[in-house]
Amino acid sequence: MTTLAPFFSGNRQICRDLFEPFQESSVFSPAVNVREKDSEYIIEAEIPGVKEEDIHINYKDNVLKLSAVTSQESKPDSGEYHRFERRYGSYERSFKFPGSLNPENISAKYENGILIITAKKPEESKSKEIPISK
């Protein structure tokens, strides 16, 4: 059996330059946190560099859909790039809620690259301690 270990160990920089682009993802995929409180759901998405007008939020049939698009900036004509890492592309993520929400009770704010979506739970889905009668 042939092994590539001698090739890789002697040529680390060449191998990094050759294979590293395949290891990195060029997909625009922001980090998302989803929290649940007694009275609301909170979705936080990190999408820095995306313009507010390029972010879309839609709610239908208990599913909240978040989508965003970011475009590639044109490269300056002067100088030759050895690496260009600014990301671009589209992103879509859906979140299914356990019950129906009132779309009027869903709000969003976008500040410093963080999108925060707050969805108030309907009254009947809030938790309540039930006492045991004697």
Digit-coded pLDDT (tens) for 12-26: 555 455 445 444 444
53-59 LR contacts (CB < 8 Å, sep 24+)? 55/110, 55/115, 57/106, 57/108, 57/117, 59/101, 59/103, 59/106, 59/119
pLDDT at 75 (0 to 100)? 61
- 27-31: which pairs have CB atoms within 8 A and are 24 or more residues apart? 27/89, 28/68, 28/70, 28/87, 28/88, 28/89, 28/90, 28/91, 29/91, 30/68, 30/91
Cβ proximity of 66 and 57 under 8 Å? yes
pLDDT of residue 81: 74
The winner for highest mean pLDDT among 9-13, 72-76, 80-84, 103-107 is 103-107
Q: Which CATH architecture has domain 27-72+86-125?
A: Sandwich (2.60)
Closest to 105 (Cα-Cα) out of 91, 83, 120, 90: 120
Choice between 108 and 50, residue whose per-residue pLDDT is larger: 108
pLDDT at 3: 46
Domain ranges in the chain? 27-72+86-125
CA end-to-end span of the chain: 77
What is the pTM (predicted TM-score) of this model? Answer: 0.67
Tokens read off for 9: 């160990």
